[in-house]
Chain A
Amino acid sequence: MSKRSVVRRLVAGVLVLLLLGGLAGCAAEEEKPAAQETKVKAAIIFSIVNPARAGGWDRADWAGIEALRNEYGWEVTVAEGVPYAQTAATAAGYAEQGYDLVIFPDAGQTAAFLEVAPKYPKTWFVMMSMCEKLPNSPRVAAWSPDLYAYGEMVGLVAGKATESGIIGLVGGVPVPALITLFSGTIEAAKFVRPDVEVLTYFVGDWVDVAKHRELAALQIQEGADVIFPETGPGTLGCYEAAQAGGAKIVGFAWDMYEDAPEVMLTSVIINKPRMYRDLAEQFMSGDLEKKIVHCGAEYFGLADFRGSLPEETVKEIQDLVTKLQNGELPIPVVIHEEIGGS
């Protein structure tokens, strides 16, 4: 009508565009490699964005993808930031497009795994995370890490490294997988140092850095000098607290040294590249079959200590780890349901 209302509409329109642009910034993105006919085509679906720089678990997967690409010449398409609710549809899309394999790196995608695999029996669907039951389809497999064994390895490191005899475990949310892992840590820490005290606190979410910092700082106040955080992006807060309070961190799943060089004791690595190589070898030789591979201690290892502990302690820890991998350590299996509360 008037000049003024035209201006209003224009401004409103520009703002809507800005808003859409802003939202697009955090929407899902895809990487598309150049198409080559003869290559094996695999797709992997991440629920988070930017796996190469995310937490240890996803970085380990990223290293596995790099191995597939560089060592086996596979063509790997990566979908990032796919919400769990849309995972099945995304996976189906890849199957339709004729991909040879679709890989799920996240146990949160189990429902999608079970749902989509039976619909595409010609495509391989592989779970690279905890898995108890395979979908009803001929071409499905899983490499499932034994979290109790992983926890034991953390316990060996922390139990040997602590001077105060107090270890802090920071969890995001008390899910069963985390209870299993922490139980392994508690038992192994007790095995190497019977008088050890393990503080197990949960933040209540995976992301709030400030809360993570408060919780880790509280553990440090209570005497913990080694902290193992197994949570989400909030982990940064634990690093910060350790830096301020003079404690050490045991990194989760991949070598986390770069993220907090001053506080990183070592990291307990999940050798995901090995799992991905297993997959690639078996697929290319035609030996891949419907099965769950339970990945025990032999799939886990330690990152470089980079001088964070005396030489002899490092040696001791490495010996213990070797014995664990060989099954020579009689650590009892006890699930401490009580740390998750009731």
Chain B
Amino acid sequence: MIYTKDISKSYSGTQVLKIDELEIPKGQSFGLVGNNGAGKTTYFSLLLDLINPSTGTITNNSVVVSQSEDWKPFTSAFIDETFLIGYLTPEEYFYFIGDLRGQNKADVDKLTAKFEDFFNGEIIGKKKYLRDLSKGNQKKAGIVAALIGNPEVIILDEPFANLDPTTQIRLKQILKDLAEKQGVTVLVSSHDLMHVTDVCERIVVLEKGEVVKDLETNPTTLKELEAHFAKSAVSVSQEEE
């Protein structure tokens, strides 16, 4: 589904991302982990053609994203709160996204009705603007908006951050269902190793912009990841000494 070849991104000489080859098959739930500055958001931004790659290409369903816009109808994303339109209510925002994705109001209502539990009664029908919602509720609205219009690829940057524990558990279930039952390719990044291993079939570790681990999730994956990040913590403290 998504094929990355020789992609790299540098800012005035400093390389922040370099991936030689990465293939994500259709229907896979894909997790990206790494410390701050590892290049997770940069990769997602390249995937959404929000920044220009220095070299290489990303192909989404055989569309080169930096050359054609044909990937947009089947791809959706929620990267951060700047994806929200602050002066709309959540409903209006959903309808707006629905309009752009060829869904009428009834379609959107049907979809959001499925997320009543997830919203916990704090989003729909509250007559509040998105800018007045709490960070967590903004995130919920943004994530659900990314599910409108039956996208085949969904990209979520740090979806678990700022959410309360109940919502985190519900979100994990939603993401799993998407990949397993509906064949949606889900790309998620997170700092929380446990959540990623729960949700994703495959986990890629980025470090200083490069892929250092590519794991199929199994019962030992969490241990392995924890060991990896603990090791880099140790090696850093040794370097400092």
Q: Do A and B bind each other?
A: no
Query: Chain A: residues with CB nearer than 8 A to chain B?
Result: none
Query: Chain B: residues with CB nearer than 8 A to chain A?
Result: none
